[in-house]
Amino acid sequence: MKIFIDTANIEEIKQAQQLGLIDGVTTNPTLIAKEKRPAYEILEQICKIVSGPVSAEVISQTSLEMVKEARELAKIANNIVIKIPLIKEGLKAVQLLSKENIKTNVTLCFSPSQALLAAKAGATYVSPFIGRLDDISQEGMQIIKDIKKIYSNYQFKTEIIVASVRNPMHVVEAALIGADIATVPFSVIEQLIKHPLTDIGIQRFLEDYKKIPSQ
């Protein structure tokens, strides 16, 4: 499973990149706003650090405006992927952009029916939001299972990005289901690495090493 980092914070991206485990980056207007700098400047910088796909979201609401905005965003770098919301106008925009070979990530997906339409429209990626479904007492991970089944029934090439990931178990469950990608906040990447028994084990080995007589 590929792991993307879900952030627009340059320091987090650099740190994750140094781990050598990051296959791409996803951003959204909320994440960009946290950085308090112009969006294009941030996106340019991210694309210089990461060679994998970098998702940048449109804010337009009509298909023609979305396409116009997408063309501008796509000029930033070759690895920019355009995030388009899953609404009627968004689906029209995805079809137009796929004809121009501009890659798309259809976002704010909350149901298998929406994901089916994203794939039919020619989306490169679809982003079902797991955590936000969990927040309203719906089992988010169930839609990943359903989308995976639907896509495999018809050999859709659209890749599933498990998004709105809130904890390490979301990542493990995504991998068990066989999702293509999980996009993960930096804090969750750190949680994935950590285990208390690993830390206790290291401490014990270091203490025991001191007991070994020197030659």
Active site amino acids: 83
Tell the smallest beta-carbon distance from residue 180 to ligand G3P (Å). Answer: 15
SS3 181: strand
Check if the beta carbon of residue 70 is closer than 8 Å to that of residue 90: no
Which position has the token pair 């969006």? 39
- Count interface residues toward ligand G3P (CB under 6 A): 9
Q: Which two tokens stand for residue 88?
A: 């009627």
Using the contact rule CB under 6 A, the part of the chain among 71-79, 89-97, 115-123, 126-134 near ligand G3P is 126-134
How do beta strands 159-162 and 104-109 pair?
Answer: unpaired
Q: Could you say which residues in the range 172-211 bind ligand G3P, by CB under 6 A?
A: 183
Please select the residue that binds ligand G3P; options are 29, 52, 131, 168, rule is CB under 6 A: 131
Secondary structure, 3-state, 38-90? CHHHHHHHHHHHCCCCEEEECCCCCHHHHHHHHHHHHCCCCCEEEEEECCHHH
Per-residue binding letters, 23-62, with ligand G3P (x by CB under 6 A)? ---x-x----------------------------------
Tell the smallest beta-carbon distance from residue 196 to ligand G3P (Å). Answer: 25
Nearer to ligand G3P by Cβ, of 66 and 108: the residue is 108
Q: Which residues bind ligand G3P (CB under 6 A)?
A: 6, 26, 28, 129, 131-132, 163-164, 183
